[in-house]
Amino acid sequence: MRPPDASLSPLDHLTIRGEAGAPALVADGATLSYAELDQAVGRTGARLLKAGLKPGDRVASWMGKTRLACVLPLAAARAGLIHVPINPVLRRAQAEHILADSGAALLVANRARLDTLSLNDTRLIALEDWQDGVDALTPSSRDPHDLAALLYTSGSTGRPKGVMLSHANLWLGAVSVAHYLRLASDDRTLCVLPLAFDYGQNQLFSTWHAGGCAVAFDYLLPREVLRAVERHRATVLAGVPPLWLQLAEQEWSGAGDSLRTLTNSGGHLPEPLVRRLRSLFPHAKLHLMYGLTEAFRSASLDPVLVDAHPDAVGTAIPFAELRVVRPDGSSADPGEEGELVHAGPLVAHGYWNDPERTAQRFRDGEVWSGDRAVIGADGLLRIRGRDDAMIKVSGNRVSPTEIEEAALASGAVADCAAFGVPDERLGQAIVLVAVANGEDSDDRLRRYFAAELPAHLRPSRIDWRDALPLSPNGKIDRAALQRELTS
C-alpha cells in the first residue's frame, strides 16, 4: 500500500491506496484494479467538465450500483464539483425536489427515470449514453474544507434537506471506519446498502482506504445477498436492522463462512436478533454502531462486548466527540438521560441553502442530534429514542410531514397525521390517520401512494376517521393519537 501524498486532496488518496494491480471494484460484471479505478475517476471527472460544469456546480446521479455510480463521488470531487446522489428507490416527486433544492446543473440517470421528470434548469444525460472522457484528470489538490457532496436526509418536518459534506468529512469517515473495523487489503466488502446514504457510500470509501475490494451489489430478495456472499467470498457485510432480520431467517449452511466483519447501523438491533447473528456467524465480529448523516458515524461497540452488552452502541469512534447534555446544555451525569451532541471533524457543514434549520441543529461546531441517550457507569452509550417525531423505517429516516403532504396532494384526504409505531421487521411502520375527502378515498389514496412514493414512504396502515382530535390550541392532538396507536 502506498503512503499518502500530502499534496493531494484527501479523497484522491482513496484511488491510490491499494496496489496498482489489486482488485478495487467489482461492478457491472467487471473488475477494476486500483490503477483502473484511478483512471476511471479521472476520465469521469474530465467528462463532467467537458459537459460545461465548473467548480462548485452540483452534479446529481439517480441509478443503482453501476460502475459509474461508484466512481462518480470521487470523480466529482476531483473535478471540484459537488455530488448529489439520489436514492434509486425514490420516485419522480422526491427526485425533482432534490434536484430543485440542490440546484443541480446535471443529472445522470437511466433513460426510464429521466423520462418521468419535468425539468427546466438541469441538463440530463442518460446512463445508456454515458461515455467517459478521453483524457483523465490527474489527482487534485482541492481544499479539504471544500464541499464534496450533498446527502439528502429527512427531518422531522418538511421535505428532505441536503447535508453538506466536505472532502475532509468523507475522507476522515473512511479512515475512521477502516481503522476501528480493522479492514485490510484482503477484505472484500459486499456493498448492499444504497450509495445515497452516508453509511452506504462509506462501504466503498473505507474499503478503498484499506486497499480492499468493494463489490457493488443490488438485490431484490434476501436470498440473493446470501448467494452473493458465497459467490464473492465476501468478508465484510453492512446492514440495517430490517435486512439483518431477513438474513437471519435464511438457511446459510456455511455460505457465510467467509464473513469476518458484520456491521449494523440505522437503528437498534433487538437482543434476540443479536443472539441469532452471533449464532449464525460465530467467527465474525459484529459491530453495533450508531450515527446520523449530520455527523456521519458517532459510536461503535467493541465486538468483544456485544454478547454482554447487546443494548449498547459503544463509545466514540476515531475523530468523533460525544457528550450527553441536559436541556440547559450542561453535561448529564453517568446514567442520566439527555440529548446526544456531536463534535469533531466528522460533523457536517450544515444544511444546503437552509440557514434556519442549520442554526437549529448546528451550534458552535457541534450538531445536536435530537436523540435521547445515556452513557452508563460502564462508559457505554445507549440510545433511548428521539425528541422529534421522526419515523425510522428499514433504516430510512422518514418525515411525517412528507407523508402527510403526499396524502393531501392525492386529493383523497381532507386531513391527516402520520406516525411511526414499533414493528419487528421494519423497526417502525408508518400509520396514517386520515379523514376521507369524497368517495373511494381509500382506493384513490393507495393508488396515488403506489405511483408517487417509494415503498419505505408508504403507510403500512391507513386508519380512517370522521375527524382528527384537536388540542386546546386547535391543532391536531398528535400526542393523543400517538398514545392511542401505541397503547
Does residue 378 sit in the same domain as residue 401? no
Check if the beta carbon of residue 477 is closer than 8 Å to that of residue 469: yes
Residue 405 is inside which H or E element, if any? helix 400-409
C-alpha cell at 75: 470523480
Q: What angle do CA 432, 435, 437 make, to 5 degrees?
A: 120
**What H or E segment, with its residue span, contains residue 134?**
none
**Could you tell me the pLDDT band of residue 474, with boundaries at 50, 70 and 90?**
low
| Residues 377 and 400 grouped into a single domain | no
**Three-state SS at 228:** helix
Examine the domain organization and report whether 219 and 347 are in the same domain: yes
Q: Are residues 354 and 400 in the same domain?
A: no
Q: Is 336 among the domain residues?
A: yes
Using CA atoms, how far apart are residues 303 and 291, in angstroms rounded to an integer? Answer: 17
DSSP letters along 235-282, please? Answer: -EEEE-HHHHHHHHTS--TTTTTT--EEEE-SSPPPHHHHHHHHHH-T
- Render pLDDT for 152-198 as a digit per residue (tens, 0 to 9): 987 555 678 999 999 999 999 999 999 999 999 999 999 999 999 99
Contact yes or no for 195/85 (Cβ under 8 A) = yes
Residue the block writes with cell 453538506: 164
| Residue 168 within any structural domain of the chain | yes
- The number of C-alpha atoms within 13 Å of 251 and in the hemisphere containing its C-beta is 0
Element of type H or E holding 298: strand 296-300
Q: Of the residues 345, 365, 383, which one is the last residue of a structural domain?
A: 383
Domain of 97, CATH number, reads 3.40.50.12780
Q: What is the mean pLDDT of residues 308-317?
A: 95
pLDDT at 473 over 60: no
User: Distance (Å, rounded) from C-alpha 344 to C-alpha 173?
Assistant: 11
Q: Cβ of 45: how many Cβ atoms within 10 Å?
A: 27
Please write the tens of the pLDDT for every residue from 417-448.
899 999 888 889 999 999 999 999 999 999 99
Boundary-marking domain end, from 331, 366, 383: 383
Q: Give a yes or no: residue 450 inside a domain.
A: yes
Choosing from 348, 383, 418, the residue where a domain stops is 383
| Whether residues 422 and 362 fall in one domain | no
Verify that 71 and 161 share a domain, yes or no.
yes
Residue at 5 is within a domain = no
Q: Based on the fold, state whether residues 364 and 395 are members of the same structural domain.
A: no
The verdict on residue 1 lying in a domain is no
Q: Kindly tell me the sign of the dihedral angle through the C-alpha atoms of 61, 239, 341, 387.
A: positive
Q: How many helices (H) and strands (E) does the chain have?
A: 13, 25
Residues 33 and 162 both lie in one domain: yes
Q: Is residue 4 part of a domain?
A: no
Answer yes or no: do 331 and 453 share one domain.
no
Asked if residues 152 and 160 have their Cβ atoms less than 8 Å apart, the reply is yes
Residue among 196, 259, 148, 211 nearest 1 (CA): 211
In terms of average pLDDT, the best of 124-138, 205-219, 257-271 is 205-219
Q: CATH number for the domain including 450?
A: 3.30.300.30
- Torsional class of 161: left (φ above 0), alpha (ψ -120 to 50), beta (otherwise): beta
For the chain, the domain total comes to: 2
Q: Looking at the structure, do residues 230 and 134 belong to the same domain, yes or no?
A: yes
What gap in Å lies between CA 196 and CA 249, rounded to an integer?
27
314-370 confidence digits (pLDDT tens): 999 999 999 999 999 999 999 999 999 999 999 999 999 999 999 999 999 999 998
Is the residue at 468 inside a domain?
yes
Residue 68 lies in a domain: yes
Q: Beta strand pairing status for 391-393 and 396-398?
A: antiparallel
Asked whether the beta carbons of 58 and 104 are under 8 A apart, the reply is yes
Domain of 323 in residue numbering reads as 10-383
- DSSP designation for 452: H
pLDDT digits (tens, 9 = 90+) for 445-468: 999 999 999 999 999 999 999 988
Give the 3-state secondary structure of residue 376. coil
pLDDT over threshold 80, residue 269: yes
Query: Which amino acid is located at 94 in the chain?
Result: Q
Residue 234 and residue 176 in one domain: yes
- Which amino acid, one-letter code, is at 164? M
**Residue 394 above 90 pLDDT?**
no
128 and 228, same domain (yes or no): yes
Q: Which residues of 100-125 are buried (b: 16+ CB within 10 A; e: fewer)?
A: ebbbbbbbbbeeebbeeeeeeebebb
